[in-house]
Amino acid sequence: MNRSFFADARGAVIAEFMVAVTPFLMIFFATAQFSTLSVAKLLTQHAAFTGARAAMVVCSDPQGQGDAQGTIQRAATLAYGPAGSVASPTATISGGCDAVSQGPVTVQVTTNFPCSIPLGNLLVCQGTSKTLTATATMPNQGSQANAIWGGGGK
């Protein structure tokens, strides 16, 4: 049993397996990261819509009571569900956010979503996190209703 080292073919299947399975693993991890990122984009858009709905109600307060920015921020964070603590979204208001203005209210939600799937984060996110931004606009309908039904204005 004096076989040469180079003539020994044992273990060749393992090397071929590693060459064949590596691209499949890369595709699998990239697909998994892309799907979580797609869900995060949907959550960000939903958070912007929820924040705009909250702004439509809160911004039309005729007495100006309450914290509009805080309420809109809580609505955007709650829209993320359990992922809200991980993503920590920030909501900013622009447009007619007062009881007198008839203009639309725009809420922009920005989050720094963590890309945590190994190898997939390098292929899809090009790093460990991705900044996602979504904007939603809704009419400030409460101010007109307050004017019609005798609500006080500022």
Per-residue pLDDT reduced to its tens digit, 37-66: 999 899 999 999 998 888 877 765 555 556
Looking at residue 7, the DSSP 8-state letter turns out to be T
pLDDT at residue 72 tops 70? yes
Q: Which pLDDT belongs to residue 28?
A: 93
Consecutive H or E run containing 129: strand 129-139
Give mean pLDDT, residues 95-109: 74
The per-residue pLDDT for 108 is: 93
Please check the confidence at residue 67 and state whether its pLDDT lies above 50: yes
For residue 25, report the phi and psi dihedrals to the nearest 5 degrees. Answer: -65, -40
**Spatial CA neighbour of 89 closest among 48, 136, 30:** 48
Q: Is residue 137's pLDDT more than 50? A: yes
With 50 as the cut, is the pLDDT of residue 154 above it? no
